[in-house]
Amino acid sequence: MVTISANGFLNRCPLLCTIRRQPATVWVISAVSFFIDTFIYSLTVAMLPDILQKNMGASESATGLVTTMFGIGGLIGSLSSGILSDHYHNRNVLQIIGSLIYVIAGIIFYYSKHYYQLLLFRFINGIASGIACTLLCTAVGDVYPANLLGFKLAIAYLCNDIAYTIGPICGEKLYQINGVYGPALLVIALGLFKLLLLVVFAEDSLIIREFVRMRLSTFAPASLEQDNSQMLHGKHAETIGYDNAGIDVLEKSDSYLPTQKNNPNITFDIDNLPQRASIPLWRLLMKLPVVISAFAIISCLGIQGMLEGLVPLHLIDRFNRSDFSGMAFVILGLVFTVLVSAVGKLTDATIKWRGEVMRYYIILFGSVSTVLAMLLMTLANTYATMMVGFSFFALTNLCMCIPAQSAFGDFVNGANADSMARGYSIAICAWAVGAIALPAIGSALYSHAGFTKSVMGVSSIACAITAGACLTFIIRKQRSCVEQR
């Protein structure tokens, strides 16, 4: 009988142990954690311009700097957690640390009276978010194969979008009732709840991965075992390509066969897991699929972060209504919520139907359409027309973000490399770079050139780079197919 155990009192309860070892539990906890992470972020996004300008007398560019500090924190959190998690083969400990950092951020926000304290709050919040997003995506990628990863991540992002929808409303109401104290206490409570959730219900995803693979290997046919053996030992993980053959083997088996399966009495814990070759971070950054996906994330999430700072200001300047800003983000979040699962499912189905190259056609479509959405927003003469453009941006954002996010897990799974956390640390770093650069540039341009030039200038350049990278991959793929014929 094969047993996989982790140290701790909780795994001595049979029912709880069974729940903790299910891939679906990892998925559900990741989705709930995504909700908590985004809710904490969006809780304050609508109130910060008001706090900065009315209470602290800060300039308009100060809003962009606050967003930038969040991105810097996210960059630090994602890079450190990705490298440390793969190096020490542990996901849970760093996620627990991230939950405690949320509590620290809430305490800082509770006592914030000055501008530098808000900067510190956003910076600490960014570190916690970088750790959370990196390791939650990594955990889902650990336990699900490539043909399911896009949809699973899309559903996790559904909870993210629900939080993005209701967070600004809750934040505004709590702020009106009790100032910063209400939102700050809620941030602390959510951090503690996530800590409890991880400690009680979350088994390390690396342990679950090996448990599932050993269980499935019992029923795997001999031909499939040979295919997996060739893939494990025939190519080094650093030189393996991102081809359909490798992905197909993973889809058919739902796992790579562990070399320890002939020992029926083996016991796994977090310090006794089968080791696989890893791809160094610098080599991952040289892979074209990774580079394109990183550019796509920088563009779509950077533009979104820029709009989070500029839309409230534009609504005040153009329509003289500060109370519309919360509703604008609610509309955006609702569109995200309605469309995210459909876009994820269609992305998986399209890639399965026409191959990996379709991922980059989808991202290309999202890049071009984003520029059109920005054009519609900037030319809008009414609030309703502007919200139509904002809603269209939600769709184009998903068309860029979902294929790009799932690309990291698909690439690492296809390479059979122990570099999942490193891969998703690049994804979150790309998001952080976008959050650092684009909002700051957009805010600076807004002060001098207004809403139209700042939004169109930043979004056009970012999307043009992403579209060019996608076209490069598509052309190279077509040439490769012609040469093979």
Higher-confidence residue of 210 and 130: namely: 130
Residue whose C-alpha is closest to residue 90's, from 38, 159, 142, 28: 142
Query: Is residue 3 helix, strand or coil?
Result: strand
Does position 23 have pLDDT exceeding 90, yes or no? no
In what helix (H) or strand (E) does residue 160 lie, and over which residues does it extend? helix 146-178
Structure tokens at 91: 């996901």
- pLDDT for residue 53 is more than 90: no
Residue 460, amino acid: S
- Across 4-8, 35-39, 65-69, 175-179, the highest mean pLDDT is recorded for 35-39
Domain chopping of the chain, boundaries = 15-206+280-484
pLDDT of amino acid 156: 83
Percent residues over pLDDT 90 in the chain: 26
- DSSP lists the bridge partners of residue 170 as none
The whole-angstrom separation of Cα 118 and Cα 343 is 36
Q: In this structure, what DSSP letter does residue 13 have? A: S
Q: Is the pLDDT of residue 45 over 70?
A: yes
Predicted confidence at residue 253, as pLDDT, reads 34
pLDDT at 214: 72
Q: What does the pLDDT read at residue 250?
A: 33
CA torsion angle 129 131 133 138 (round to 10): 180
Asked if residue 430 lies in contact with residue 270, where contact means CB atoms within 8 angstroms, the answer is: no
Higher local confidence (pLDDT), 418 or 397: 397
Q: How confident is the model at residue 440 (pLDDT cuts 50, 70, 90)?
A: confident
Q: How confident is the model at residue 216 (pLDDT cuts 50, 70, 90)?
A: low
Residue with more model confidence, 123 or 48: 123
- At 8, is the pLDDT very low, low, confident or very high (cuts 50, 70, 90)? low
* Residue 231 confidence (pLDDT): 35
Domain 15-206+280-484 has CATH 3.60.150.10: no
- The DSSP H or E segment spanning 368 is helix 357-379
Measured distance CA(404)–CA(297) in Å, rounded: 7
Q: Which amino acid is at 74?
A: G
What is the SS3 assignment for 399-441? HHHHHHHHHHHHHHHHCCCCCHHHHHHHHHHHHHHHHHHHHHH
**pLDDT beyond 70 at 10:** no
For residue 397, pLDDT over 70 is answered with yes
Distance, in Å, from the CA atom of 384 to the CA atom of 358, rounded to the nearest integer, reads 34
More confident residue, 416 or 438: 438
**pLDDT of the residue at 285:** 82
pTM: 0.71
| H helix or E strand, kind and range, residue 4 | strand 3-4
* CB 102 within 8 Å of CB 50: no
pLDDT tens-digit map of 312-328: 888 888 877 665 666 78
Contact 186, 63 (CB under 8 A): no
Q: 114 exposed, middle or buried (CB, 10 Å; 0-12, 13-18, 19+)?
A: exposed
What's the rounded mean pLDDT across residues 168-173? 86
pLDDT digits (tens, 9 = 90+) for 335-362: 888 888 888 888 888 888 888 889 999 9
- Looking at the chain, the whole-number percentage of residues with pLDDT higher than 70 is 79
222: pLDDT strictly greater than 70: no
Helix pair angle (181-201, 92-110), 10° resolution = 170
- The mean of the pLDDT values for the chain is 79
Lowest mean pLDDT among 116-120, 207-211, 242-246: 242-246
Burial of 345 (0-12, 13-18, 19+ CB in 10 A): middle
